[in-house]
Amino acid sequence: MVSLTVYNRSGEPVGTYEIDPCELAPRVNKQLLHDAVVMYRANQRLGTAKAKSRGEVAGTTRKMYRQKGTGNARAGSRRSPIRRGGGRAHPKRPQDWSYRLPKKALQWATRMALASRIADQEITLIDELRFDAPKTKQMALILKALKIEGLRLLVAVASYDENVYKSARNLDGVSVLPVNELNALEVLRPQRMLMTTEAMDALRRKFGVSRPGTGDGGLAPSEPAGTEAVAPSGGQGLERSGTQPGSQPTTPTDEQ
């Protein structure tokens, strides 16, 4: 269990927030996090790089000089890759670098990234973050009071707030995202995260994890009474419903 200090806008501690990183992810798989980050970065590539081959550059196709008798090395077109101004031998071509990992793998990568941030206490919690109008100066003062100014920072809010977004977008290295749009890359890229307690609650609801004393969110439904699962035997799964081993099932008989 990790206890995170909750601060107000003035940087004063006003309480604590209890959360267990194992609720989000029992363990952290570094290979999965690496694969997810590589995928997200590959999908951000434009793939528009292009160079011209010898067939695309401007220039004549006339042979430069006769084949024999000059004493020079034999040469053909001026557009040859070995000549200045010629085409590239193996030019780059536009291509699509995007690909996708399984959906559940990406979900677990996001949970592992958040669990890692919580376990390392790299998340700063604030009780509330609201503005009546976009105010970059007020946002900068809040970050200074929390001693996180000048860092690459991700501000995670419960839902999209235009005033919060516009107040932080002009600050260098600060980005704002609602919890529904978090992924492994966005969580791991900044040096620190700033979250509201409301955003943390929304995050737990998103992953089916409830706060202590607020219900059993995220628990698997219990099995019906009188039914128990039996381990597979001989490659087949069985299900019993109140029948003792070795007994014969009863069937209606006509005794008349």
Is residue 68 included in any domain, yes or no?
A: no
The residue-averaged pLDDT of 220-235 equals 39
Contacts 24+ apart (CB under 8 A), 200-204: 200/17, 200/19, 200/125, 201/158, 202/158, 202/159, 203/114, 203/156, 203/179, 204/19, 204/23
Residue 97 or 253, more confident? 97
Q: Is the pLDDT of residue 237 over 70?
A: no
State the pLDDT confidence band at 213, using cuts at 50, 70 and 90.
low
pLDDT at 211 (0 to 100): 62
Is residue 12 included in any domain, yes or no?
A: yes
Is residue 86 included in any domain, yes or no?
A: no
pLDDT at 256 (0 to 100): 41
pLDDT digits (tens, 9 = 90+) for 39-94: 999 999 999 999 999 999 999 989 999 999 999 999 999 999 999 999 999 999 99
Is residue 8 included in any domain, yes or no?
A: yes
pLDDT at 207 (0 to 100): 87
* Burial of residue 174 (number of CB atoms within 10 Å: 0-12, 13-18, 19+): buried
- Model-level pTM? 0.73
pLDDT digits (tens, 9 = 90+) for 164-179: 999 999 999 999 999 9
Is residue 150 included in any domain, yes or no?
A: yes
Cα 129 to the chain's mean position, in Å? 24
Total count of domains within the chain: 1
Is residue 237 included in any domain, yes or no?
A: no
Tokens of 222: 């219990």
State the pLDDT confidence band at 210, using cuts at 50, 70 and 90.
low
**Cβ proximity of 229 and 223 under 8 Å:** yes
Is residue 37 included in any domain, yes or no?
A: yes
pLDDT at 195 (0 to 100): 95
Whole-number average pLDDT of the chain: 84
Q: What distance in Å separates the CA atoms of residue 135 and residue 129, rounded to the nearest whole number?
A: 12
Q: Which domain holds residue 137?
A: 2-44+99-206
Q: Is the pLDDT of residue 119 over 50?
A: yes
Is residue 200 included in any domain, yes or no?
A: yes
Tokens of 198: 């409301």
Q: Is the pLDDT of residue 216 over 70?
A: no
Cα 8 to the chain's mean position, in Å? 28
Q: What is the CATH number of the domain that holds 195?
A: 3.40.1370.10
